[in-house]
Amino acid sequence: MILFNDWHLLFNLSGTLIMTSRVSLSANVANRGDLDVSFGDGGKVHLLDEQGADLEVCTLHVLGSGNVLCAAYASLSETTYVAMLDVNGNLDARFGNGGLAKFKLSDHFSATKSARPFDLQVDEATQTIVVGFCAETLTGAHFPGLAKLDLAGKLDGSFGKGGLAYFNYFDLAEGGPLFASPPNGKGIELEFSGAMTLLSNGTVMLSSCQPYEDLYNYGVLANVLGNGDLDTSFHEVGYMLLQRNGMHLERIESLVPQGSNFLLAATTHVTGEGGWFLVKFDANGKVATDFGSDGYYDQQPNVKKSILFRDDTSKIYLSGTAANAASQHFFLVVQRRGADGEEDPDYGDRGWTGSLGGNGETEVFAARLYNPGSTIVVAARQYDSQGNGDAVIGTLEQSMGWQGSFGKDGIAALPEKNIVHSLAVQTDRNIVVSASHDGSPDTYEIMRLIG
C-alpha cells in the first residue's frame, strides 16, 4: 500500500491497482497538548492494587530512561505503594512485585496508622528512591516521614526501621524549643504540607507544616542522614522551627536546591495577601542574608506556589497567582529573578501576568522547567464561585507569553479533572501528570500529553 497525499493506493502482487480510498490525514496528526495515545490506554493509566482497588497517585518522577515512578496510596488498605511504569505506561515487572512495591507504616511503627506520599525523588547515581510521606498516628497527629528504596523496589534496611523513618516532633521537643513561641491563633487550614530535596552529601532536607492539636500549624525544617537519623550537627537537634516575623507557618509550598544552598517558599497565612515569602538557607539552615532583603523575597507573585531554579542561567522562576485582601486570585503570575533575588529587567518587579481564559479565580498546583529549552510548564485551574472548573496544563516561553502552538493558545484542558497532584516533564518534552476529580480515589489517572 502506498500513501500519496491523502489517497491510499492498494496494488496486488502483479502491480495492478485494485483499490483506492481517500483518507483524512489530519485525523491522525497529534498536536502539542493532545493526549499521547502511545501511553497506557489512549494516553491514560489508572493504577490498581493487587486486589483491584484504586490507587491514588500522589506524586510522579520521570527517570532518565523515560520510565515513570509513582508514589501512591490505597485508602481501603491504608497501604503506601511505589509503582514503575515503562515508557508505554505499562507496569515494569522488573520493579517490586509485578511493577509494584508497597509498605504499611503500621507494620513498622505500632503507634501509626498510615503514610500518604507527598513527594518522590531519585538519586540515579546511587540508584536510590526517597519517598516523603505524611505519617498519621493512632491519635490523629501528623508528622513527616521518609521511605528509602532501591531502583528494584526493595526497601533499604539500613535506613530507619526497615527502610522507613518518621519524625514525631512532639516527642522530640519534649515541651522545649518547638513550642516555645506563641501561636498565630487558630489557623484557617489545619492540614499537613511538605517538601523535600536530596542533597549531594546523601542527606535529605525535609520541610513540613503540620497541625498542633486543633490550634494552629507549625513549620519545621530537618536534615535527615542517610541512615534515617536526624543530623544533630544541624541546629544541634537535627531540626529547627520555621517562623516569619514571629508567626508560625501555615503551609510549605516548595523546596529546591541552589548549589550548596536551598530555597523555601512558604506562607504564614493562606488568606488574603502578604503571607507568602521566599527564603534562602545555607546548608546549615541559616538564612543567607545576601539574598533578596536580608534573605527573604516578598514581592510578586503574591502566592508563591512553585520555585524553579535554572542552573545554566542562574535564574529563579516563581509561579503562583496574584492575590488581594479579599482572598481573590484572578491571574497566573510568573516571576524571574537572579540567583540572589535581584530584579530581572525583562520581568520587572511585577512579573509576567496571564489569564487562563474566562471568568473565575485561579489556583496553581505545580510548575516545571524544561532546562535545555525555553518552556515553563504550569498545572493550574480556574474555578467559579461554586468551585467548578477543569484543571489545565499551560506552557509559557521563559521570555514571557503563552506558547500558541500548545493546546489552544498555550493551554490544554484536562476534562473531568479539577486537581493536579503531580507534574513532570520528560526529556522529550512530553508532559506527565497525575490528576483527579475532587480527590475521589476512582478518578485518579496518570496522563501523558505531547509537549
Locate the domains of the chain by residue range. 1-30
Q: Pick left, alpha or beta for residue 401 (phi over 0 → left; psi -120 to 50 → alpha; otherwise beta).
A: left
pLDDT band at 5; cut points 50, 70, 90: very low
pLDDT at 143 over 80: yes
- pLDDT higher at 156 or 451: 156
- Cα distance between residue 245 and residue 166, in whole Å: 29
Which of 333, 423, 294, 320 has its CA nearest to residue 369? 423
* Residue 228: exposure state from Cβ atoms within 10 A (0-12, 13-18, ≥19): buried
pLDDT single digits (tens) 298-340: 999 999 999 999 988 899 999 999 887 667 788 899 999 999 9
Output the pTM of the full model. Answer: 0.90
Q: Mean pLDDT throughout 75-84?
A: 97
Average pLDDT over residues 375-393: 89
What are the pLDDT digits (tens) for 198-251? 988 889 999 999 998 878 889 999 999 999 999 999 988 999 999 998 889 999
> CA quadruple 260, 265, 267, 273: dihedral positive or negative?
positive
Please check whether residue 417 is in contact with residue 379, taking contact to mean a CB–CB distance below 8 angstroms.
no
User: Would you state the pLDDT for residue 173?
Assistant: 76
> How far, in Å, CA of 304 to CA of 267, rounded?
8
Higher pLDDT, 23 or 347: 347
pLDDT of res. 386: 78
12 grid coordinates: 496486488
Residue, of 309 and 385, whose pLDDT is higher:
309
As a whole number of Å, the end-to-end CA separation of the chain is 31
Kindly report which listed range (11-15, 201-205, 254-258) carries the lowest average pLDDT score.
Answer: 11-15
- In angstroms, the CA 423 to CA 317 distance is 16
Q: How far is Cα 61 from Cα 68, in angstroms, rounded to an integer?
A: 6
- Of residues 409 and 185, which shows the higher confidence score? 409
Q: For the residues 390-412, what does the mean pLDDT come to? A: 91
Mean pLDDT of 8-24: 42
Distance separating alpha carbons of residues 435 and 95, to the nearest angstrom: 23
pLDDT given at position 324: 74
Alpha-helical (H) ranges within 73-124 are 105-108
pLDDT level of residue 30 (50, 70, 90 thresholds): confident
Strand partners for 144: 134
What length is written for the chain? 451
- Please give the single-letter amino acid code of residue 105: L
Q: Nearest CA to 112 among 190, 58, 155, 165?
A: 165
- pLDDT tens track for 266-308: 999 876 667 899 999 998 899 999 999 999 999 999 999 999 9
According to the per-residue pLDDT averaged within each range, which of 13-22, 98-107, 274-283, 301-310 is highest?
98-107
